[in-house]
Amino acid sequence: MLHDAQFGFRPDLSTDLAILSLKHTVKYYVDRETPVYACFLDLSKAFDLVSYDLLWQKLKDKDLPVELIELIRSWYLGQENEVRWGSELSDPYRLECGVRQGGLSSPLLFSIYVDDLIEKLSSLQVGCSIDGACINNISYADDMVLLAPSVAALRKMLAVCETYALSHGLVYNVKKTEYMVFKAGAKCTLFVPPLLLNGTPINRVKEFKYLGHWVTEVQDDNVDIDRERRALSVRANMLARRFARCTETVKITLFKAYCTSLYSASLWFKYTQRAYNALRVQYNNSLRVLLRRPRFCSASAMFAEAHIDSFDALWRKKTASLLGRLRGSSNNILKRIADKFDCPLIWSFIKRTKSVLVINY
């Protein structure tokens, strides 16, 4: 029902697969000495600006049962709201637009509302593509990134976004909308013609936090690894401070729950040994501090005794899990990526597996 470029709140899709699609598309072009121009769009209060009349029509266009559409329509048009100020309540009033905040159906309704925009962008046949498959935009709810190998192509897609937003009551926040040029050696020019959104120049950046993962113009993962290292330090110190008197069993359970996430670790493929070692040491020290172990105790023995995966084992498992989800996905974009041997995820997994085999040998 929804376009394959939509990754938000859909079965078997996630933020890491959306980030992977971005990084793979960029690497595909950069490896062929073509820079990629990426524009990260920011919608202001997107969920609050959904027009009900347009939404009902879009639900009909998706061939949803009439009874279901009428149920949702009655649900929204019959709702009343009040504003509380201290102990006083305002007079009841009705909302004229916007999906319910925190509603289970709200993300899906918003995805349907903007699906036509994604269809229009993909049908342009400009921007990035891999083996004939157009991958010029990637969306996760209201987070969208446009990908193009030229400024002219990016401008065409921005024009489509402007027109769609104007006709659907949506507003782009130009101050938070930014673009980046992923460098491809000497072919990346220093001067880039101005990119405008609603007549306002878009700011160019060298790094951007996309869905919680830092991407840089040189595809360097050191910045994101440092983000995870600092976040891990904060979580570990919080656990050590608040649960100092708990039993080791409780502390181990808390460590597994709060310190083994390593968000987007499976997507790191270009990093320095220094950044890798800093995160590994932080991971080891986090458990040492929580369990009150000596600073120079054996990390391998400590993790084995606690029945917790070591840093390298955890990293490999997360990469293998993402690779399995990638290969088992029915999404056409992910299928294209899974068939490519130059996928950064595949090479990252091979690199880590090879290092383990060498050590064991």
- DSSP per residue, 44-102: TTGGGG-BHHHHHHHHHHTT--HHHHHHHHHHHHT--B--EETTEEPPPB--SB-PPTT
Side chain identity at residue 221, one-letter code: D
User: What are the pLDDT digits (tens) for 29-88?
Assistant: 998 889 999 999 999 888 889 999 999 999 999 888 999 999 998 888 888 788 888 888
The predicted model gives 265-276 an average pLDDT of 92
- What integer pLDDT is reported at residue 265 of this predicted model? 92
CA dihedral 66, 71, 77, 82 (to 10 degrees): -160
Most confident of 87-96, 177-186, 246-255: 246-255
Task: From 218, 181, 217, 173, select the one nearest 197 (Cα to Cα).
Answer: 173
User: What φ, ψ does residue 295 adopt, rounded to 5°?
Assistant: -60, -35
CA distance 197 to 161: 9
- What integer pLDDT is reported at residue 91 of this predicted model? 86
Contact 260, 228 (CB under 8 A): no
The predicted model gives 340-352 an average pLDDT of 68
- What integer pLDDT is reported at residue 359 of this predicted model? 41
Task: From 31, 81, 4, 6, select the one nearest 340 (Cα to Cα).
Answer: 31
Dihedral over Cα of 255, 261, 266, 272: its sign: negative
Measured over all CA atoms, what is the biggest interatomic distance in the chain, rounded to whole angstroms? 75
| DSSP 8-state symbol, 202 | P
End-to-end alpha-carbon separation of the chain, Å?
50
Interaxial angle between packed helices 273-291 and 311-327, expressed in degrees from 0 to 180 and rounded to the nearest 10: 120
pLDDT averaged over the chain? Answer: 89
Contact 19, 210 (CB under 8 A): yes
- What integer pLDDT is reported at residue 149 of this predicted model? 94
User: What φ, ψ does residue 156 adopt, rounded to 5°?
Assistant: -65, -40
> What is the DSSP secondary-structure string of 207-256?
EEEETTEEEETT---HHHHHHHHHHHHHHHHHHHHHTTTS-HHHHHHHHH
Contact 14, 6 (CB under 8 A): no
Q: How do strand 36-42 and strand 143-148 relate by DSSP bridges?
A: antiparallel
- What integer pLDDT is reported at residue 348 of this predicted model? 67
Q: Would you place residue 236 in the very low, low, confident or very high pLDDT band (cuts 50, 70, 90)?
A: very high
Contact 172, 142 (CB under 8 A): no
CA distance 39 to 174: 11
What pTM value is reported for the model? Answer: 0.90
Instruction: Give, for 359, the enclosing helix (H) or strand (E).
Output: helix 344-360
Task: From 259, 237, 265, select the one nearest 348 (Cα to Cα).
Answer: 265
The predicted model gives 128-153 an average pLDDT of 91
User: What are the pLDDT digits (tens) for 295-340?
Assistant: 888 999 999 999 999 999 999 899 888 888 988 999 989 988 887 7
3-state SS assignment for residue 36: strand
In the block, tokens 């830092």 appear at 214
Number of H helices, E strands in the chain: 12, 13
Side chain identity at residue 136, one-letter code: N
What percent of the chain is modeled with pLDDT above 90? 61
- What integer pLDDT is reported at residue 352 of this predicted model? 61
